[in-house]
């Protein structure tokens, strides 16, 4: 199912999850990174680090 711009989609997770999602066929609009699960790595341009 493709939402075709009707809704914004976000992903919440560790550095590895955010990097994996950037290569997805339909990448999310927003990225929320959990710094505690990322072992000190920081994804480029997260919407918010929590």
In the prediction, which pLDDT does 46 show? 64
Beta-carbon contacts of 44 under 8 Å, excluding residues fewer than 6 positions away, are none
Give the burial class of 19: count Cβ atoms within 10 A of its Cβ; 0-12 exposed, 13-18 middle, 19 or more buried: middle
On the question of pLDDT at 6 being above 80, the answer is no
For the segment 11-46, what is each residue's pLDDT rounded down to a tens digit?
889 889 888 988 888 888 888 888 788 878 887 766
At 4, is the pLDDT very low, low, confident or very high (cuts 50, 70, 90)? low
Residue of 8 and 48 predicted with greater confidence: 8
């Amino acid at each position: 199912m493709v939402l075709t711009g009707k809704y914004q989609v976000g992903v919440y997770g560790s550095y590895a999850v955010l990097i994996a999602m950037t290569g997805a066929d339909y990448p999310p609009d927003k990225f929320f990174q959990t710094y505690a699960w990322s072992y000190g790595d920081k994804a480029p341009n997260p919407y918010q680090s929590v």
